[in-house]
Structure 1
Amino acid sequence: MTSAPPRPRVAVTLGDPAGIGPELVARLLADPGTTAAADLLLISDPAELALAEEDSGLTIDYATTPTEGRPLLVDNGARRPAEPFERRRATEAGGRWAMDNLRVALDLAAKGEVDAILFAPLNKSSLHLAGLAESDELRWFEVVLGVEGFTSELNVLPGLWTSRVTSHISIAEVDAGITRERVAAAGRLLDGVLRGGAGIAAPRIGVCALNPHAGESGRFGRHEIDIIAPAVEDLRAEGIDATGPFPSDTIFLRARAGDFDGVLTMYHDQGQIAMKLMGFDGGVTIAGGLPIPICTPAHGTAFDLVGRRAATMGSMNNAFHLATRLGAAAAGR
């Protein structure tokens, strides 16, 4: 008889309280399959959960002491500001609350008390108002967890994963961020998560060019010749099935046709535009390269949808299922 896979412990935060995160979490928890799939720790407080119930029209059946089949509230109310959160706009208070709750989740992860983290959408303007010094939450996760190796946001649709060499920097800075070492590191990261997260024994990775038409043999720049192609050869020498560089205006057509399991992009919008066109309502973002899986929907806080009960659940559901799958793998390692 084979033993059941380990039951993952997943920390959940409700994201920016000004947006649709509280509603999404309430709707996620209303599905009996959610609590059946994992032991959940809600990093929040009763006031925020009441807000989630109001936004969703649902009741959250949480516990304040460990109870089988019910999410456990890890009450962070001592850090709540005295005034109610302003909704539908970026604020310092909302950003600080979102970061405070995430910090508790990261502390639990560092202690080995959770196997994965799922967070509802954040608003970067709120985070920066609250004092976030890093370019994005991934870089902040690195600092809090003390990670020094290569990290990258991974974006996931059913059947297709992407990683990127550079992320939340200006286009003017992309050139300096494209190095042979970084391209190879991003390829290794993507290959590793495809093997471990998607369960693909021999992932096929297509690598994007940086310049139009892949540089046309150096006419539009030599990144493809001097940097990207040598990095692809480095990956192939390590046994990774990487090919390219391919022009970025056609590589996703091939990916959609099933030629690749993953696409390695050079900068943020090179991959994100394609991925959001192909599956905006189901996309998931993973903070790749960290010691614990951290997943979130690949969309934003949608201030315009707050209180309308019109938000779709595709990305949130996918993010949860991916967090539980990766968390179970981590719990069983």
Structure 2
Amino acid sequence: MTSSSMDHTPGPSEPPVVALTLGDPAGIGPELIARLLARPDLTCLGKLVLVGDAWLWAEGQRVAGLQVRTEPVASLAEVRARPADAPPAFLAVDTVQPAQVRVGQADAAGGASVLKVLDRCMDAALARQVDAICFAPLNKHAMKQGGLRHDDELHHFAQHLGVTGYFCEFNTLGGLWTARISSHVPLREVASLVTVPRIVDAATLIYRSLQANGVARPRVAVAGFNPHNGDGGTCGREEIDVIEPAVRELERLGMPVQGPYPADTIFLRARDGELDAIVTMYHDQGQIAIKLMGFSQGVTVQGGLPIPITTPAHGTAYDIAGQGRANVDATANALRIACRMGRTYRDGRSLFGQAAH
């Protein structure tokens, strides 16, 4: 690698460097990435670099029925200096052998492969060699078999990146984003997590992240917790004692957040174009609505990290893996968000929860 490639300083109009991964090798991820990189309308959005096993990349193209041009690179550090109109780069890494992968099944070898590639990309992001990461679908069970020590990938990302502040997943569908103050916890534990600080943190994080995605004045609302928004306290007091004070605090901080609105009608406001984001109280309160509104289009954004990390909201689709039937729409949306937010991060205007190391 030459020193000029290491020292390249991007101009304000230069596309961001975005690392892509193939996801779980037994799922539809390799096929999705082949379909993604075959589209010039998407590859022009950033300086894209695919990181993964060479044999798996070839297999993804075979399943998709495509031959996609990529150019090999020896390291992620050299991608930024490549011409903006160059084909996507490919960094070959050896993480898993074909004999270790059973298509359509979660295995430890596949989970370990995912972790190795993602850690490589995060290290490059911390070194400012890439500006964002977009990963194809993974499988939590396989990752736990393969060495994941956390409940989910978001907590793995946060530890690897040294995050100490608040973080949470965002789920997006078109112009609508959702955050939640609790996620992968039993439903009976949620009430104890409905607190003013958590609501303020979640709303602040999604407000600032939308700004980083290009929305100057996000319209954010908070969902109630109890049926019928608590019915004036007769069906629970969280709206009165916790959520309303949190909304007032957010207004005091300069964020015109609305609510609480009844959870069974708040998404009607979003559907009608009145909102850019909704803060929900627990996982399925937002997930059911988002997936019903557009399962094949949704994107998960890992909120609160020092770098943008995105992925399609659907899973590995083991049932159709290897069949050439995967829908690339959500992955394309994930790449678009990664490129927009990656430029913001690269240019030093990021409003995420923590600075990069």
Smaller-chain TM-score bracket: over 0.9
Query: Hey, what does 1:16 align to over in structure 2?
Result: 24
Q: Distance in 2 between matches of 1:187 and 1:23?
A: 35
Corresponding residue to 1:215 among 216, 230, 236: 230
Structure 1 match to 2:323: 308
- Contact in 2 for aligned 1:7/1:331 (Cα 8 Å): no
Q: 1:133 corresponds to which residue?
A: 149
Aligned residue for 1:71?
88
Write the mapping of 1:115-126 to structure 2, written as runs, cut at 5 A: 115-126=131-142
Distance 2:242 2:157 in 1: 29
* 2:267 corresponds to: 252
**Alignment-mate amino acid for residue 290 of structure 1:** L
* Deviation readout 1:267-288 (Å, 9 max, x if unpaired): 1110010011111111111001
Q: Is the 8 A contact 2:25 2:110 kept in 1?
A: yes
SS at 1:295 equivalent: strand
Q: How far apart are the structure 1 equivalents of 2:68 and 2:100?
A: 20
Length-normalised TM-score, structure 2: 0.89
Question: What does the per-residue CA deviation read over 1:203-224, in whole Å, with 9 as the maximum and x for residues that have no partner?
Answer: 2111001111111122222211
Superposed CA offset, 1:28-85 (max 9, x none): 01112333221122110211111111211111322223664122222221x3247331
User: Whole-Å Cα distance in 2 between the matches of residues 331 and 143 of structure 1?
Assistant: 21
Distance 1:152 1:327 in 2: 18
CA displacement at 1:90 relative to structure 2:
1.1
TM-score (norm 1): 0.95
Aligned residue pairs, count: 329
Structure 1's unaligned 5+ residue stretches are none
Q: Which residue of 2 aligns with 1:93?
A: 109
Kept after mapping to 2: 8 A contact 1:5/1:332: no
Matching residue's letter, 1:244: G
Structure 2 residues not aligned, in runs of 5+: 1-10, 74-78, 349-357
Provide the rounded CA distance (Å) in 2 between the counterparts of 1:36 and 1:325.
Answer: 12
Which residue in 2 is equivalent to 1:231? 246
Contact between 1:6 and 1:332, CA under 8 Å: does it hold in 2? no
Distance 2:326 2:189 in 1: 35
SS at match of 2:44: helix
Quote the Cα distance in structure 1 between the aligned partners of 2:195 and 2:303: 19
Instruction: State yes or no: 1:200 paired with 2:180.
Output: no
Provide the rounded CA distance (Å) in 2 between the counterparts of 1:97 and 1:309: 22
Of 170-179 and 241-250, deviating more is 170-179
Alignment-derived partner of residue 170 in structure 1: 186
Q: Secondary structure at the match of 1:253?
A: helix
2:277 equivalent to 1:262: yes
Identity over aligned pairs, percent = 45
- Residue equivalent to 1:144: 160
For residues 39-54 of structure 1, what are the structure 2 equivalents within 5 Å?
39-54=47-62
Which whole-Å deviations, capped at 9, do the CAs of 1:94-142 have from their partners, x for residues lacking one? 1111111111011111111000000000111111212222111111100
Distance of aligned partners of 1:224 and 1:203 in 2 relative to their CA distance in 1, 3 Å threshold: same
**Preserved CA contact (<8 Å) 2:27 2:322:** no
Give deviations 1:121-170, integer Å, cap 9, x for gaps.
Answer: 01111112122221111111001001010001111111211111111111
Cα distance in 2 for residues equivalent to 1:251 and 1:273: 13
SS of the equivalent of 2:19 reads: strand
- List, as ranges, runs of 4+ consecutive aligned residues in structure 1 with deviation greater than 6 Å: none
CA contact (8 A) 1:10 1:323 kept: yes
Q: Distance in 2 between matches of 1:180 and 1:55?
A: 49
